[in-house]
Amino acid sequence: MEKINIICVDDEREVLESVVHDLEYFSDMFNIEECESAFECLELLEELDAQQEYVAVLISDHVMPEKSGVELLTEVALDNRFLGTKKLLLTGLATQADTIRAINNAKLDNFLEKVWDPQELLQTVKELLTEYIVEKGIDYEVYIEKLDAPTLYRLIKC
């Protein structure tokens, strides 16, 4: 079984914990990582990459000290090593300009507003994860119970 990671980034401890709590569903098959800043996340990405682990979904808050979520996601989007990683912005405080930058530069895959509906977050991550696994050609049968069936049917071609 491959090591597949879901990374959550938020500078507020409570928010981070609540995101991780909502993603509990995935924790027995996937690795859920927590980061409290963009820099911590970049460091973690280096480490994971050195171990050749997969980074499937990156969920980030936008407003954070030093480096914003959009900046972080843009950096990841331009890094060849994380080609295909699904990027989700989870924020209540993004201006329209931020949002435009996030879509154009960070090639965002999904945008959720704070306060989020746990069910919606779960479903979104499920779909993104499924897309990532099929696109990367990872053996989906192992993870099938945690994946989103309609997405799977849509993407499988052979």
Q: Does 136 participate in binding another protein (rule CB under 8 A)?
A: yes
Q: Which of 44, 137, 143, 147 binds another protein (CB under 8 A)?
A: 137
CA distance 112 to 140: 26
Q: Which of 51, 95, 96, 119 binds another protein (CB under 8 A)?
A: 51
Q: Which of 52, 95, 96, 119 binds another protein (CB under 8 A)?
A: 52
Footprint (CB under 8 A) of another protein, residues 56-115: none
CA distance 21 to 34: 11
Helix ranges (H only) for the chain are: 13-22, 38-50, 69-78, 96-104, 118-136, 149-155
Q: Does 149 participate in binding another protein (rule CB under 8 A)?
A: yes
Minimum distance from residue 125 beta carbon to another protein (Å): 19
Nearest to 90 by CA among 70, 114, 109, 71: 114
Minimum distance from residue 13 beta carbon to another protein (Å): 31
Q: Does 1 participate in binding another protein (rule CB under 8 A)?
A: no
Piece of 21-29, 48-56, 95-103, 113-121 that binds another protein (CB under 8 A): 48-56
Q: Are 49 and 91 in contact (CB under 8 A)?
A: no
CA distance 1 to 38: 28
Q: Which of 50, 95, 96, 145 binds another protein (CB under 8 A)?
A: 50
CA distance 158 to 151: 15
Minimum distance from residue 154 beta carbon to another protein (Å): 5
CA distance 69 to 83: 18
The binding site for another protein (CB under 8 A) comprises 50-52, 136-138, 149-150, 152-154, 156-158
